[in-house]
């Protein structure tokens, strides 16, 4: 089973546990079932190094996509 990072919603403890994909693990500090998966980005954000016009263009495209998505739902 894959190793995932979890955070406890009750005591904010962070821990690693092996679970089925999509499942959550009980907190190892307080045994609460109210935990959530943490998604740790592997690659740095793509926007690093993007400046000026390129960044503006990217933002405009993203805004356009988001507007479209809002319109569809
Ligand atoms: Zn906890």
Q: What is the pLDDT of residues 6-40, one digit of tens each?
A: 999 999 999 999 998 889 999 999 999 999 999 87
Pairing between β-strand 14-18 and β-strand 35-38 as defined by DSSP bridges: unpaired
Query: Tokens in use for 31?
Result: 């045994």
Instruction: Identify whether residues 36 and 18 lie together within a single domain.
Output: yes
Distance 25 CA to ligand 1 centre (A): 11
Instruction: Identify whether residues 12 and 32 lie together within a single domain.
Output: yes
Alpha-carbon distance of 33 to 10, in angstroms, equals 9
Instruction: Identify whether residues 27 and 57 lie together within a single domain.
Output: no
Instruction: Identify whether residues 57 and 36 lie together within a single domain.
Output: no
The total of structural domains in the chain comes to 2
Instruction: Identify whether residues 32 and 1 lie together within a single domain.
Output: yes
Q: Which domain holds residue 1?
A: 1-40
DSSP 43: S
Q: What is the pLDDT of residues 50-68, one digit of tens each?
A: 567 776 778 888 888 888 8
Distance 47 CA to ligand 1 centre (A): 34
């Amino acid at each position: 089973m894959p190793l995932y990072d979890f955070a406890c919603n009750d005591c904010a403890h962070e821990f690693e546990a092996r679970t089925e994909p999509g499942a959550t693990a009980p907190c190892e500090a307080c045994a609460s079932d109210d935990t959530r998966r943490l998604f740790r980005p592997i690659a740095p954000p793509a926007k690093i190094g993007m400046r000026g016009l390129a960044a503006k263009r990217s933002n405009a495209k993203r805004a356009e996509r988001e507007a479209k998505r809002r319109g569809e739902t």
